[in-house]
Amino acid sequence: MYKPITGTLGFILSPDKQKILMVHRIHRSDDDQLGKYNGLGGKLEHNEDIASGMMREIHEEAGIECTKMSLRGTINWTGFGPKGEDWLGFIFLIEEFTGTPFTKNEEGPLEWVDIDKLGELPMWEGDKYFLPLVFDDDPRIFHGYMPYDGDKPLSWDFHRL
């Protein structure tokens, strides 16, 4: 039976819309994502909806309040990471926020990165397939499937309707 972990992943735009706030996960030696850059997010709690979960994670990890965000897509990651977990992820673009972002959190430093330089960072290999869809001008939500074998994506398929 398929029982994925439900999570959120958010990419926070800078006020000038040129950069994204990323976490460089270097603080915990037991982190499955050690050394990688990623957006902010995490597991959904049993008593919240997807948007509330995203807003909570952004507040916990960056210290800011989302005032405008959009769901850009969903991804079904199966066999993901060293534990081979199944994840159902909801991918958001945070377009406006209030407050000043933290400079670091428990996972690592938070860094503003130029959108066009994201591909140069150490990230999950599969991120290069869906990240362009997060930032493009197509208003339709994408729905993707990306099975993994540990750290390697096996394929990528998505639809926009």
DSSP-based three-state secondary structure for 49: coil
Task: State pLDDT tens for residues 65-104.
Answer: 999 999 999 999 999 988 899 999 999 999 999 999 999 9
pLDDT on residue 150: 87
Characterise 58 by phi-psi region: left (phi > 0), alpha (psi -120 to 50), beta (else). Answer: alpha
pLDDT on residue 159: 98
pTM over 0.85: yes
DSSP 69-101: EEEEEEEEEEEETTTTEEEEEEEEEEEEEES--
Q: In the chain, where are the structural domains located?
A: 5-160
pLDDT-based confidence at residue 124 (cuts at 50, 70, 90): very high
Give the residue, 81 or 123, on which the prediction is more confident. 123
pLDDT on residue 129: 97
Task: Indicate the DSSP class of residue 52.
Answer: H
Q: Has residue 31 got a pLDDT over 80? A: no
Give Cβ neighbours of residue 133 (< 8 Å, ≥ 6 apart): 72, 73, 142, 144, 158
Q: Has residue 153 got a pLDDT over 90? A: yes
CATH architecture of 5-160: Alpha-Beta Complex (3.90)
User: For residue 20, what are its two tokens?
Assistant: 């994204």
Characterise 127 by phi-psi region: left (phi > 0), alpha (psi -120 to 50), beta (else). Answer: alpha
- Report phi then psi at 115, rounded to 5: -55, -40
Q: Has residue 148 got a pLDDT over 80? A: yes
